[in-house]
Amino acid sequence: MKRVFLPQNLGQLCRIMEEEPRAMVYAGGTDLLVKVHQNLIDPPSLICLDRIEDLKEVHEQGDEVMIGACSTHTSLFENPTIQSNFPVLVKALKVLGSPPIRNMGTIGGNICTASPAADTLPPLYVLEAEVEIWSQNASRRMALRQFISGPGKTCLKAGEIISGIWIKKVPEYNLHHFEKVGQRKALAIAVVSLAAILKVSNSGIIEKARLAWGSVGPMVVTSTQVEEALIGQSLSLETLQKAQPLVDEAVNPIDDIRASTWYRRAVAENLLLRLFETKYD
């Protein structure tokens, strides 16, 4: 029998983590509990963060937005602050898992599981998000891109949790795009995904660009070469086609049960072309 703790606040969490050094932490359970039931992991105890209301807030602070790590995907999807500031994230949340999974799963959980195919990660990468790492003694921020150190690996140490995600608002970007390719339209792990935010001028010139691909490498893939190839050019099919070989250089996909290396490369390149038909303000 495993012990299951439900701390009501960060103070209680602290105490329990001290008393139960081998406990594993979860919020929604949509990743961790599957592994427990499949006997892939066997922690003696578990800590559920679901009752810590402090970890669920979303608020604006200056030119940043702070997202509580235990915010469920559904709550973020429905949140007006997230909707108005980060459409790229909302588009990803819309196709993550399924409705019950979105009701249970949290953004902090998605980050800490750090799957190369995670749906919130490409948007968070293009938004240059930072995570807030909390422990009893200290709180620090770190760029998400540094926080995730490998497939399924993060810089989280014992006694630490992610408490929040900080994102600087990006009002100058007027094109927010996300596409996920899976084996079906719901309940699907991404085979390739692309998140992109662009600033496109009135005359159709790309002034700024940030792109990130999911599921085509051990971690989310970004490429300054691709971005630089787009900046200063018109948002046209020709521009995008010219940048495709640079995508090929940037990605490093594997063969697995869902898709081959060849397919992932081909689609990672092709998804770039979809930017041509994406509406922007």
CB of 182 to other proteins, least distance (A): 9
- The answer to whether 86 touches 120, Cβ cutoff 8 Å, is no
Q: Between residues 200 and 271, which has the closer beta carbon with respect to other proteins?
A: 271
Q: Between residues 10 and 189, which has the closer beta carbon with respect to other proteins?
A: 189
CB of 240 to other proteins, least distance (A): 11
Q: How far apart are CA 195 and CA 92, in angstroms?
A: 8
CB of 5 to other proteins, least distance (A): 8
CB of 120 to other proteins, least distance (A): 17
Q: Is 121 exposed, middle or buried (0-12, 13-18, 19+ CB in 10 A)?
A: buried
Q: Between residues 39 and 202, which has the closer beta carbon with respect to other proteins?
A: 39
Q: Between residues 33 and 231, which has the closer beta carbon with respect to other proteins?
A: 33
CB of 269 to other proteins, least distance (A): 9
Farthest-apart Cα atoms in the chain, separation: 65
Q: Between residues 170 and 190, which has the closer beta carbon with respect to other proteins?
A: 190
Q: How far apart are CA 127 and CA 244, in angstroms?
A: 22
Q: Which of 132, 137, 138, 136 is nearest to 155 (CA)?
A: 132
Q: Between residues 129 and 240, which has the closer beta carbon with respect to other proteins?
A: 240
Binding interface with other proteins (CB under 8 A) = 1-6, 29-30, 33-34, 37-38, 46, 48, 50, 74, 78, 97-101, 103-104, 181, 183-189, 191-192, 257-260, 262-263, 266-267, 270-271, 273-274, 276-277
CB of 149 to other proteins, least distance (A): 25
Q: Between residues 2 and 153, which has the closer beta carbon with respect to other proteins?
A: 2
Q: Between residues 135 and 278, which has the closer beta carbon with respect to other proteins?
A: 278
CB of 19 to other proteins, least distance (A): 15
Q: Which of 87, 90, 53 is nearest to 71 (CA)?
A: 53
In sequence order, which residues have a C-beta less than 8 Å from that of residue 138 and are 6 or more positions away? none
CB of 136 to other proteins, least distance (A): 23
